[in-house]
Amino acid sequence: MNGERPAVADPGPTPKSTPGLGWNELSAEVVELFASIKLAMFLFIVLAMTATIGTVIQQGERPETYIKEYGEEAYRWFLRLGVTDVYHTWWFTSLLGLLCINSLTCFYKRFPAIWRSMHQDKVNVALPFIKGMKQTVAIPVAGPKDRVAEGIVQLLAEKGYRVLAKNEATEATIYATKGIMGRVGAHMAHLSATVIVLGGLIGSYYGFQEFGVCLEGQTYHIPKGQFDLRVDKFWIDYHENGSVKSYNSTLTVIDHGAPVTTKTITVNDPLVYKGIWFYQSSYGDAWDRVDLARVNIKEKGTDKVVGTIDLPWQKEVSLDNLGLKLSLTDFVADFGFDSTAKKVYSKTVEHANPAVKLAITEQPSAKAAMVQTTPWIFYQYPDLFEIQGSKYRFELVGYQAKKFTGLQITKDPGVNIVWIGSTMIVVGITLSSFIYHRRLWAKVIPGESGVTVHLGGNTHKSQLDFQKEFRKLTERIQTLKT
Amino acid sequence: MPVMFFMATMVLYLVGTAFFLAYLLRRSEALSKVSLIVTGIGFLAHTIALLTKMMGADHAPLTSVHEAMSFFSWALVLVFLIVEVRHRIPVLGSFILPLALISLISAAALPKEVPTLEPVLKTVWLHVTLSVLGTVGFAVAFVAGLMYLIQDGLLKSKRFNVLYAKLPPLDFLDHLNQQSIVLGFPLLTLGIITGALSAEFARGSYLNWNPEQLWALVTWVFYFVVLLGRLTVGWRAKRAAYLTIIGFAGVILTFIGVVLKGHGAVG
């Protein structure tokens, strides 16, 4: 997109047969290679092709998944090539690195020329130079030299050209240029590749992305930000038709023990504190606690319900008429038992097999023996265990799950650089697509009757448009009124 | 209301397509007038359908694949009408209208209602609009490339038939091909960036490396290389025609992939 001519078509001054290539020649060749547009195109194509690997082969799965689908031999190759995590392989990163080097070398090699052509006058040219241009024409015009030259300068200025003119005794020379921004834009777009990759790298090295499951009323420490976050409230708003309108969490940042800021976040409206962003990401029922559990108490002998009680979380409740003290001490959503650690845990976050743990103290009368147990009772299997020595059977008939809010916690110090790069790419592409650089030279040479205007010009692209413009300019000069 | 106008558009485009295809094979110029009028009325009906739907909807517009397809068809015909007014080449309609019709029929075949939209996707309409407009550019480039190859084939085999007389000159087609990509590409770039922005604001990461995003990037790179090749190394004429045809085929395949995977929204 930049450069007046493709680098590969350069009639390079470095003959290949030179024996004992010196450092200068070598470095010139290396620069030439890295600055070439062909390399850029090649890299882009290879990057695109390798990026598609990640869409065909699932990324970051467990070994079993790959072996099951592709076989063991294939998986070994996958590991060797790193295709199970393509975007973090050394070769993918290297390709990105090469792209950066390419864009920087290209800038280094070509931009100075553009800079010069922006600031240098190019008015000192000889007639053969104009005659040798891609677009060139000789126009006979009636009128004195100075007036014709003036007319041309005026015409070009009207057309938006930046014009330089030199008037000498024997001839007048005019140089006009327009649309240099088109080429600056091309460089901006090319450099943006480096900027975006840089932003991405900074993000992946110095940033993090975590998912937090937070319960209402709890305070959580954010170690990477060295402050605390309190979840004050979580709720869901609904549309009239019952569909979800928004998820909301009210969060308070507590820094050094003092609340600093409070904000209600919703999807697309995160809280930002010290460069860390808190996004409303999901919500759900907690799997390790409930607000309330309803328990039926049945007499073993008669199987009659003698009492129903709503137990709050971890608070003892006394039922004096039955001689019971009950407390809800634990909850799991999907009961699992780790036999080595002898611990109960929730196998999944789904409420597939919910169970509560009760602490029961039973003493029907002062003289009777006291029974103390801590059984798990299951929502789906009410008759699973019998409590020895107890008059009662306990059934879990329902519970009110505690809602949690899922917060996406991220820090990406590179993100602004990525946005800068994105802006550069859009502005650059737009400039270089719609503006093209044109240069015109004219020499007004007095002849026997009137003058001859030698007009020549070139552009680095859009030859067709330029041809048209050149024709129109020729016509205007032909009919110049002096 | 919108459904009625939508159906009317479909019927009108069907008739328009039939006329335009007939126009391709006959020496009558009157046929092109009729096809243009039918297409114009169809476009009007479609505009009304889109506007009434937008005003009646309680969710953000352009969030389902159905709406995106419908909008694509609308923008494609709009571009055709603009080119037609400026350059008078009704034969373009013989290529573009079938495309608009197919897109409209696919839109009709897809579920019209947005299945309870996640709040995440409320801001994507800008991303969808820009991406669709970019794709329209690529569709026009595809059509120009196709016409170029046909015209080129006719010229080479010296078959100066009706079709040859109706197709515009090669350099015009090549120019149209270039202009479409030059216009479409920045729009797609903006589309991708706005998509990344809304992902950033919804989930906290602008790139998730998921297949949809990657294919969008691959498409972008492809057209970037095509554009770069054209502007610097001189990939013009037949090569550009072939590349834009391949590119658009890729776009369609990607799109079908996205739809088949059952995503409620584009991107």
The verdict on a CB contact (< 8 Å) between B233 and A268 is no
What's the whole-number mean pLDDT along residues B18-34?
85
Partner-chain contact A52 B206, CB within 8 Å: no
Asked if the Cβ–Cβ distance from A426 to B193 is below 8 Å, we say yes
Measured between CA atoms, the residue of chain A closest to residue B178 is A462
At residue B144 the predicted structure's pLDDT band, cuts being 50, 70 and 90, is very high
Q: How many residues does chain B have?
A: 267
Fill in the DSSP letter of residue A334: B
A457 touches chain B (CB under 8 A): no
Span of A175-189, A457-471, B133-147 with lowest mean pLDDT: A457-471
Find the closest chain A residue to B185 by CA distance. A429
Model confidence, pTM: 0.75
Query: How far apart, in whole angstroms, are the C-alpha atoms of residue A439 and residue A473?
Result: 13
A105-117 average pLDDT score = 84
What is the per-residue pLDDT across A297-336, written as a single tens digit (0 to 9) for each? Answer: 888 888 888 888 889 988 888 888 888 888 999 998 888 8
Summarize pLDDT for A46-100 with one digit per residue, the tens: 988 888 887 777 777 788 888 888 888 888 888 888 888 887 888 888 898 998 9
The nearest CA of chain B is from the CA of A410 a distance in Å of 6
Q: Does A267 touch chain B (CB under 8 A)?
A: yes
For range A293-299, the mean pLDDT: 89
Q: How many residues does chain A have?
A: 482
First-to-last C-alpha distance (Å) of chain A: 41
CB-based contact A437:A180 (threshold 8 Å): yes
For residue A445, the cross-strand partners are A452
Residues B49, A464: Cα–Cα separation, whole Å: 40
Query: Is the pLDDT reported for residue A416 higher than 70?
Result: yes
A78 touches chain B (CB under 8 A): no
- Minimal CA–CA distance to A287: which of A334, A328, A327? A334
Residues 6+ apart with CB under 8 A from A352: A333, A334
Write down the pLDDT at residue A59.
77
Instruction: Please report the DSSP string for A377-404 in residue order.
Output: EESS-TTS---TT-SEEEEEEEEEEEEE
Q: Is residue B267 part of a domain?
A: no
Residues of chain A with Cβ-Cβ distance to B198 below 8 Å are: 268
Residue A114 three-state SS: helix
Q: What residues in chain B have their Cβ under 8 A from chain A's Cβ atoms?
A: 58, 116-120, 122-123, 171, 175, 182-183, 185-186, 189-190, 193, 196-198, 200-207, 209, 211, 214-215, 217-218, 221-222, 224-225, 227-229, 231-234
A470 membership: H or E segment, kind and range: helix A463-478
3-state secondary structure of A342: coil
Instruction: Write the residue in B182, B200, B225 that is nearest to A41 by C-beta.
Output: B225
- 3-state secondary structure at position A126: coil
pLDDT over 90 percentage in chain A: 12
Average pLDDT over residues B250-265: 70
Q: Quick one: CA torsion of A140, A144, A147, A150, rounded to 10 degrees? A: 50
Helix/strand/coil for A430: helix
Concatenating the DSSP letter of every residue in chain B gives -HHHHHHHHHHHHHHHHHHHHHHHHSS-SHHHHHHHHHHHHHHHHHHHHHHHHHHH-SS-SS-SHHHHHHHHHHHHHHHHHHHHHHH--THHHHHHHHHHHHHHHHHHHS-SSPPS--GGGGGTHHHHHHHHHHHHHHHHHHHHHHHHHHHHHHHHTT---HHHHHSPPHHHHHHHHHHHHHHHHHHHHHHHHHHHHHHHHHHS-S----HHHHHHHHHHHHHHHHHHIIIII---HHHHHHHHHHHHHHHHHHHHHHHHTT-SS--
Smallest Cβ–Cβ distance between A464 and the set B171, B218, B228 belongs to: B171
Q: Does A239 touch chain B (CB under 8 A)?
A: yes
Q: Which of A37, A470, A50, A192 is nearest to B235 (CA)?
A: A37
Distance CA A295, CA A378 (A): 11
- Does residue A149 contact residue A167 with C-beta atoms inside 8 Å? yes
In B, which residues are within 8 Å of A209 by CB distance?
Answer: 204-205
| Cβ(A271)–Cβ(A280) below 8 Å | no
Q: Which two tokens stand for residue B83?
A: 């080119």
Note the pLDDT tens digit of each residue in A2-51: 444 444 444 444 444 445 567 777 788 888 888 788 888 888 889 888 88
Q: Given a cut of 90, is residue B133 above it in pLDDT?
A: yes
Q: Which residues make beta-bridge pairs with A458?
A: A439
Q: Sorting pLDDT into bands at 50, 70 and 90, what band is B114?
A: low
- Contact: A37, B204; criterion CB under 8 Å: no
Residue holding tokens 């329209």?
B136
- The answer to whether B221 contacts A45, with C-beta atoms less than 8 Å apart, is yes
| Cβ <8 Å between B233 and A243 | no
Q: Are B99 and B248 in contact (CB under 8 A)?
A: no
pLDDT (0 to 100) of residue B122: 59
**Residue B110 in this model has a pLDDT that exceeds 80:** no
What is the predicted pLDDT for the residue at B265? 39
Please report, for chain A, the start and end positions of each structural domain, with discontinuous segments joined by +: 7-117, 121-179+439-478, 208-286+405-426, 287-402
If one counts the domains in chain B, the total is 1
Q: Does B11 have pLDDT greater than 80? A: yes
Chain centroid to Cα A455, Å, comes to 50
| pLDDT higher than 90, residue A216 | no
CB-facing half-sphere around the CA of A65: CA atoms within 13 A: 7
Tell whether A341 is within 8 A of chain B (Cβ).
Answer: no
CB A117 within 8 Å of CB A438 = no
Q: What is the mean pLDDT of residues B148-174?
A: 89
pLDDT, position A11: 44
Range in A1-5, A266-270, B190-194, B207-211 the model is least confident about: A1-5
Angstroms from A332 CA to nearest CA on chain B = 29
Give the per-residue pLDDT at A2.
42
Tell me whether residues B203 and A279 touch, CB distance under 8 A: yes
Q: Give dist(CA A418, CA B196) in Å, integer.
A: 10
pLDDT for residue B250 is more than 60: yes
Size of interface A-B (CB pairs under 8 A): 110
Calculate mean pLDDT across residues A415-439.
89
Chain A CA closest to residue B258: A55
- Asked whether residue B103 is assigned to any structural domain, the reply reads yes
Chain A contact set for B231 (CB, 8 A): 1, 432, 461
The winner for highest mean pLDDT among A265-279, A448-462, B175-189 is B175-189
Helix-strand-coil percent breakdown of chain A, rounded to 5? 35, 35, 30
Exposure of B5 in the CB half-sphere (CA atoms within 13 A): 16
CB–CB contact B209 A200 (8 Å): no
What is the per-residue pLDDT for A22? 75
Q: Give the chain A residue nearest B257 (alpha carbons).
A: A55
CB contact under 8 A, B186 and A277: no
Answer whether A54 sits within 8 Å of B207, measured CB to CB. no
Residue among B205, B218, B224 whose CB faces A51 most closely:
B218
CB-based contact B201 A270, cutoff 8 Å = yes
Cα(A401)–Cα(A391) distance, integer angstroms: 29
- As given in the structure block, the two tokens for residue B115 are 């299945």
Exposed/middle/buried for residue A218 (C-beta within 10 Å: 0-12, 13-18, 19+): exposed
Contact A38 B233 (CB under 8 A): yes
Do residue B205 and residue A1 have CB atoms under 8 angstroms apart?
A: no
Q: Average pLDDT over chain B, rounded to whole?
A: 84
Contact across the interface for B120 and A41, Cβ inside 8 Å: no
Does A455 score more than 90 pLDDT? Answer: yes
**Nearest residue of A to residue B58, measured between CA atoms:** A239
Query: Please, what is the Cα angle at A177 between A174 and A182, to 5 degrees?
Result: 170
The CA distance from A98 to A43, in Å, is 8
In a domain, B169, yes or no: yes
A4: closest chain B residue by CA: B232
State residue B119's pLDDT score. 52
Mean pLDDT computed over A234-255: 82
Cα separation, B14 vs B105, in Å, equals 10
B51-105 per-position pLDDT tens digit = 888 777 656 567 777 888 899 999 999 999 999 999 888 899 999 999 999 999 9
Domain residues for the domain of B100 are: 2-260
Cβ of B224 and A408 within 8 Å? no
What is the sign of the dihedral through the CA atoms of B215, B221, B224 and B228?
A: negative
Q: What is the average pLDDT across B237-255?
A: 89
Q: How large is the average pLDDT for residues A161-181?
A: 89
Residue A116 in tokens: 């010069």
Query: A460 burial class (0-12, 13-18, 19+ CB within 10 angstroms)?
Result: buried
Q: Where are the beta strands (DSSP E) in A147-226?
A: 162-167, 172-178, 208-215, 219-222
Interchain proximity B203–A281, CB inside 8 Å: yes
Name the residue among A55, A268, A422 with its Cβ closest to that of B123. A268
pLDDT one-digit tens code per residue, A366-388: 777 788 888 888 888 887 777 87
Answer whether residue B182 is part of any domain.
yes
Give the Cα-Cα-Cα angle B117, B123, B126 (nearest 5 degrees): 120
Distance from A382 to chain B by nearest Cα, in Å?
Answer: 37
Run of H or E residues at A421 = helix A415-434
Q: Are A182 and A436 contacting, i.e. CB atoms less than 8 angstroms apart?
A: yes
Q: How far is A152 from chain B (nearest CA, A)?
A: 30
C-alpha torsion A97→A100→A106→A111, nearest 10: -150
Question: Given an 8 Å threshold on Cβ–Cβ distance, is A408 in contact with B232?
Answer: no
Give pLDDT, residue B123. Answer: 65
- What integer best gives the mean pLDDT of chain A? 84
Provide the 10 A C-beta neighbour count for residue A475: 10
Query: Long-range CB contacts (< 8 A, 24+ apart) of A260-267?
Result: A260/A227, A262/A232, A264/A233, A266/B119, A267/B118, A267/B119, A267/B120, A267/B122, A267/B202
Per-residue pLDDT at A424: 93
B-contacting residues of A 47-66, CB under 8 Å?
47-48, 51-52, 54-55, 59
- CB-CB neighbors (< 8 A) of A281 in chain B: 203-204
| Cβ–Cβ contact A468 with B under 8 A | no
Higher pLDDT, A112 or A240: A112
What's A84's DSSP letter? G
Give the fold, CATH level 3, of A121-179+439-478: Double Stranded RNA Binding Domain (3.30.160)
